[in-house]
Chains A and B, each alone.
Chain A
Amino acid sequence: MLELRDVDVFIDASQILRKVTLSAGESEAICLVGRNGAGKTTTLRTIMGYRRPAAGTITFKGEAIGGLPTHAIAARGIGFAPEDSGVFADLSVAENIEIATWTRPGGRPAAERLALAYEIFPRLRGYAARGGAQLSGGERKMLSIARALALDPDLLVLDEPFEGLSPAIIPLIGESISAITRLGRTIVIAESNIHHVPAWTRRLYVIERGEIIFAGTLDEAHRDRAVLRVIGGRAS
Chain B
Amino acid sequence: MLFLVAAGLQLVFGVQKILNLACGSFYALGAYAGVSAVTWALGHGLPAPLFVVALLAGGLALAVIGPPLERLLRTIDGRDESFQLLLTFALVLMLEDVIRFVWGPAPVQLRGAYLVYGQVTVAGSTVPVYNLFVIAAGGVIALGMGLLLTRTRFGRIVRATAENREVAAALGVDMRRVYRRVFTLGVALGTVGGALVIPATAAVSEMAIEVIVDAFAVVVIGGLGSMRGAFAGALIVGVLKAGAIATWPEVEMLAIYVVVIGVLVLRPAGLFAGATP
Residues in A lying within 8 Å of B, measured CB to CB: 48-50, 69-71, 74-75, 79-80, 82, 86, 88-91, 95-96, 98-100, 102-104, 147-148, 151
Chain B residue numbers with a CB within 8 Å of A74 are 169-172
Task: State whether the Cβ of B57 lies closer than 8 Å to any Cβ in chain A.
Answer: no
The answer to whether B170 and A91 have CB atoms under 8 Å apart is no
Task: State whether the Cβ of B167 lies closer than 8 Å to any Cβ in chain A.
Answer: yes
State which of A70, A79, A89, A99 has its C-beta within 8 Å of the C-beta of B156: A99
The answer to whether B159 and A80 have CB atoms under 8 Å apart is no
Chain A residue numbers with a CB within 8 Å of B162 are 90
Task: State whether the Cβ of B108 lies closer than 8 Å to any Cβ in chain A.
Answer: no
Cα of A95 to Cα of B171 in the assembled complex, Å: 12
The answer to whether B170 and A80 have CB atoms under 8 Å apart is yes
Cα of A75 to Cα of B174 in the assembled complex, Å: 10
Chain B residue numbers with a CB within 8 Å of A151 are 171-172
Cα of A75 to Cα of B170 in the assembled complex, Å: 9
CB distance from B69 to the nearest CB of A (A): 21
Chain A residue numbers with a CB within 8 Å of B170 are 48, 70-71, 74, 79-80, 82, 86, 148
With A91-B159, A151-B171 given, is the CB distance from A102 to B164 under 8 Å? no
Cα of A98 to Cα of B174 in the assembled complex, Å: 16
Cα of A148 to Cα of B156 in the assembled complex, Å: 17
Chain A residue numbers with a CB within 8 Å of B156 are 91, 95, 98-99
Chain A residue numbers with a CB within 8 Å of B79 are none
Q: Which size bracket describes the interface of B in this complex?
A: 20 to 34
Residue among B160, B172, B173, B175 having the largest count of chain A Cβ atoms under 10 Å: B172
Chain B residue numbers with a CB within 8 Å of A148 are 170-171
CB distance from A189 to the nearest CB of B (A): 16
The answer to whether A89 and B172 have CB atoms under 8 Å apart is no
CB distance from A89 to the nearest CB of B (A): 7
Cα of A89 to Cα of B277 in the assembled complex, Å: 12
Cα of A147 to Cα of B173 in the assembled complex, Å: 13
The answer to whether B276 and A90 have CB atoms under 8 Å apart is yes
Task: State whether the Cβ of B77 lies closer than 8 Å to any Cβ in chain A.
Answer: no
Residues in B lying within 8 Å of A, measured CB to CB: 153, 156-157, 159-160, 162-164, 166-175, 276-277
The answer to whether A103 and B172 have CB atoms under 8 Å apart is yes
Chain B residue numbers with a CB within 8 Å of A100 are 171-172
Chain A residue numbers with a CB within 8 Å of B173 are 71, 99, 103
CB distance from A148 to the nearest CB of B (A): 8
The answer to whether B172 and A50 have CB atoms under 8 Å apart is no
Chain B residue numbers with a CB within 8 Å of A71 are 169-170, 172-175
CB distance from A11 to the nearest CB of B (A): 14
Chain B residue numbers with a CB within 8 Å of A102 are 153, 157
CB distance from B172 to the nearest CB of A (A): 3
Chain A residue numbers with a CB within 8 Å of B169 are 49, 69-71, 74
The answer to whether B163 and A103 have CB atoms under 8 Å apart is no
Chain A residue numbers with a CB within 8 Å of B277 are 90
Cα of A56 to Cα of B228 in the assembled complex, Å: 48
Cα of A75 to Cα of B277 in the assembled complex, Å: 28
Chain A residue numbers with a CB within 8 Å of B168 are 99
List 12 additional A-B contacts (Cβ < 8 Å) besides A71-B174, A91-B156, A99-B173.
A49-B169, A70-B170, A74-B170, A82-B170, A88-B159, A90-B163, A91-B160, A95-B156, A96-B160, A99-B160, A103-B173, A103-B174
The answer to whether B166 and A70 have CB atoms under 8 Å apart is yes
With A88-B159, A91-B160, A102-B157 given, is the CB distance from A75 to B167 under 8 Å? no
Q: Which residue of B lies closest to A105 (CB)?
A: B172
The answer to whether A86 and B276 have CB atoms under 8 Å apart is no
Chain B residue numbers with a CB within 8 Å of A90 are 159-160, 162-163, 276-277
Chain B residue numbers with a CB within 8 Å of A89 are 163
Cα of A47 to Cα of B118 in the assembled complex, Å: 65
Chain B residue numbers with a CB within 8 Å of A70 are 166, 169-170
